[in-house]
Amino acid sequence: MASDEAALTLAPARPAPWRDPKLRAIAYQIVFVAAVVGAVGFLVHNMLGNISRQNIATGFGFLRKEAAFGIGESLIPYSPADTYGRAFLVGLSNTLYVAALGIVLATILGTVMGLARLSGNWLVAKLAQIYVETFRNIPLLLQLFFWWGLLNTAAPAPRQAWQVLPDVFVSNRGIAYPVPVASPAYKWMALAVVVALALLVPLRRWAAARQAATGRQFPRGWAGLGIVLGLPLIVFVAFGAPFALSVPSLHGFNFSGGSAVSPEFAALLLGLVIYSGTFIAEIVRAGILAVSWGQSEAAMALGLKSGQRMRLVVLPQALRVIVPPLTSQYLSLTKNSSLAVAIGFPDLVSIANTTMNQTGQAIEGIAMIMAVYLFISLSISLAMNLYNRAVALVER
Amino acid sequence: MADIAQDIPVVRQAPPPRSTRALGWLRVHLFSSVFNSILTLLAVGLLAAAVPPLVRWALIDAIWSAPNGQACHAGGACWAFIGEKMRFILFGRYPADQEWRPIAVVAIFIAMIAAACVRPLWGRRLAVVWFAGLSAAFLLMAGGLPGLRPVETGLWSGLPLTLILAVIAMLFGFPLGVLLALGRRSRLPAVRGICVGYIELVRGVPLITVLFMASLMLPLFLPAGVTIDKVLRAQVAFILFAAAYLAEVVRGGLQAIPKGQIEAADALGLSYLQRTRLIVLPQALAMVIPPLVNTFIGMFKDTSLVLIVSLFDLLGATEFALTDSNWQGFAVEADVFIAAIYWSFCFFMSRYSQLLEREFNRGKQR
User: For residue range B109-165, what is the model confidence (pLDDT) as tens digits?
Assistant: 999 998 888 888 888 888 998 999 999 999 888 888 777 888 888 888 899 999 999
Whether residue B29 lies inside any domain: the answer is yes
pLDDT at site A1: 46
Whether residue B101 lies inside any domain: the answer is no
Q: Which residue of A has its CA nearest to B46?
A: A127
Q: What CATH number is attached to the domain comprising B77? A: 1.10.3720.10
Q: Label residue B68 left, alpha or beta by phi (over 0 means left) and psi (-120 to 50 means alpha).
A: beta
Q: Where are the domains of chain A?
A: 84-150+262-391, 186-230
User: For residue range A303-323, what is the model confidence (pLDDT) as tens digits?
Assistant: 998 778 888 898 888 888 898
Domain that holds residue B268: 70-94+151-360
Question: Cβ contacts of residue B278 below 8 Å, gap of 6+?
Answer: B265, B270
pLDDT at site B184: 92
pTM of the predicted model, to two decimals? 0.86
Average predicted confidence (pLDDT) for chain A:
86
Whether residue B141 lies inside any domain: the answer is no
pLDDT at site B162: 93
Whether residue B9 lies inside any domain: the answer is no
Nearest Cβ partner of A29 from B188, B203, B213?
Answer: B188
User: For residue range A108-154, what is the model confidence (pLDDT) as tens digits?
Assistant: 999 999 999 988 889 999 999 999 999 999 999 999 999 998 888 77
Q: Please judge whether B43 and A124 are an interchain contact, meaning their C-beta atoms are less than 8 angstroms apart.
A: yes
Whether the ipTM is more than 0.85: the answer is: yes
Whether residue B2 lies inside any domain: the answer is no
pLDDT at site B117: 86
Nearest Cβ partner of A153 from B44, B220, B331?
Answer: B331
What φ, ψ does residue A249 adopt, rounded to 5°? -135, 155
A28-50 mean pLDDT: 92
CATH of A84-150+262-391, one of 3.40.50.300, 3.40.1710.10, 1.10.3720.10, 3.40.50.261: 1.10.3720.10
Do B76 and B53 lie in one domain? The reply is no
A50-77 mean pLDDT: 82
| Residues constituting chain A | 396
Residue A285 has pLDDT above 90, yes or no: yes
- Give the whole-angstrom CA distance, residue B21 versus residue B27: 10
Cβ–Cβ under 8 Å, residues A74 and A346: yes
Least confidently predicted of A50-54, B37-41, B112-116: A50-54
Question: Cβ contacts of residue B170 below 8 Å, gap of 6+?
Answer: B242, B246, B295, B296, B299
Domain count within chain B? 2
Please name the residues between 319 and 338 in chain B that touch chain A, using a CB distance below 8 Å.
319, 329, 331-332, 335-336, 338
pLDDT at site A393: 66
- A32 contact residues in B (CB cutoff 8 A): 188, 190-191, 194
- What per-residue string of b and e applies to B17-36 under the rule 16 or more CB within 10 Å gives b? eeeeeeeeeeeebbbeeeeb
- A153 contact residues in B (CB cutoff 8 A): 329, 331-332
CB–CB contacts below 8 A, A to B = 160
pLDDT confidence band for A262 (50 / 70 / 90):
confident
pLDDT at site A255: 77
Side-by-side strand order, sheet with A259-261 = A162-165, A168-171, A174-177, A259-261
pLDDT at site A82: 86
What φ, ψ does residue A11 adopt, rounded to 5°? -60, 140
Cβ–Cβ under 8 Å, residues A351 and A83: no
